[in-house]
Amino acid sequence: MARIGRLSTKGSVLLLCDMQEKFRPNIFQFTNIVNNAARLLQACRILGIPQILTEQYPKGLGPTVPELGADGLKPHTKTSFTMMIESVQSSLKSLDDPQQVILCGIEAQACIACTTFDLLERDMEVHIVADAVSSRSQTDRLFALSRLKQSGAFLTTTEAVLLQLVQDAKHPSFKEIQKLLAHPSPDTGLLAFYTVKEELAMSAVQTSCVKLSSRERKEEEERTTERRRNKH
């Protein structure tokens, strides 16, 4: 049966990637990205979903920003672009190898991308929370999201994740989750993502038309050559 990407509180884990101080002035929509990630973290704590936090070379890039609210989470320090370092893999194994990953953080074209590829190669289901993921460049961010969707990751939003996890207003934790949804997520520039998709689609159409025109020209040349032969 094909995977449809239905999230569940069972067998899921939240990965929080490298939201550190030195990135603050350079990452597009940093404040809103971290605020959305913080809501995801709060929701996962309420729902009992485990969380894993990484930091990229904290000696140079600083600690995790306090507004994420990751107190109590011991960060896995790394230098590689993937989060799937040995200590993280050990943590996942201790959680009985969850099969659904909710992924947020920075940067989309680097650590988020490399982590996604590693998770997909392990046949894990990856849900990238697009409004909790960013890059220094909006271009890199949007094209990375498009690329990762092509590779098999599910793109979603903070509010969509929270609602999918509770599934029902009768869920015992719904009122707590509802408080996290009191204000809609801010616009983080994702509408441009659809412009990118449209441009890629248009480019594909144009390429197809060029190929078709070339084929038509070749066929016409062949017909002309054949007519000349028949005259002789």
Whether pLDDT at 17 is above 90: yes
The reply to whether 114 belongs to the active site is: no
Q: Which fold has domain 12-187?
A: Rossmann fold (3.40.50)
State phi, psi for 23 to the nearest 5 degrees.
-80, -15
Helix, strand and coil in the chain, % to nearest 5: 55, 15, 30
Q: Which of 17, 44, 78, 118 is catalytic?
A: 78
Q: Which of 18, 44, 118, 131 is catalytic?
A: 18
Q: What is the pLDDT of residue 186?
A: 86
* Percentage of the chain modeled with pLDDT above 90: 78
Q: What is the pLDDT of residue 1?
A: 46
Q: What is the pLDDT of residue 200?
A: 58
Q: What is the pLDDT of residue 213?
A: 58
Question: Burial of 116 by CB count in 10 Å (0-12 exposed, 13-18 middle, 19+ buried)?
Answer: buried
* Per-residue pLDDT reduced to its tens digit, 94-125: 999 999 999 999 999 999 999 999 999 999 99
98, 108, 153 from 147: Cα distances, Å: 24, 10, 9
CA dist., res. 46 & res. 40, Å (int): 10
Residue for token digits 């390429």? 207
Q: What is the pLDDT of residue 193?
A: 73
* Per-residue pLDDT reduced to its tens digit, 117-154: 999 999 999 999 999 999 999 999 999 999 999 999 99
The reply to whether 18 belongs to the active site is: yes
| Token duo for residue 205 | 């159409």
The reply to whether 78 belongs to the active site is: yes
Task: Specify whether the backbone of 187 is left (phi greater than 0), alpha (psi in -120 to 50) or beta.
Answer: beta
Task: Provide the Cα torsion 78, 153, 99, 116; round to 10°.
Answer: -10
Q: Which of 17, 44, 111, 118 is catalytic?
A: 111
Question: What letter represents residue 43's amino acid?
Answer: A
Residue 7: band (very low, low, confident or very high) from pLDDT cuts 50, 70, 90: very high
Residue 185: band (very low, low, confident or very high) from pLDDT cuts 50, 70, 90: confident
* Per-residue pLDDT reduced to its tens digit, 187-225: 899 987 776 555 555 555 555 555 555 666 666 667 666
| Token duo for residue 65 | 């920003």
HEC-encoded secondary structure of 54-74:
EEECHHHHCCECHHHCCCCCC
Q: Give the strands of the sheet with 154-156, arranged side by side.
A: 76-78, 51-56, 12-17, 100-106, 125-134, 154-156
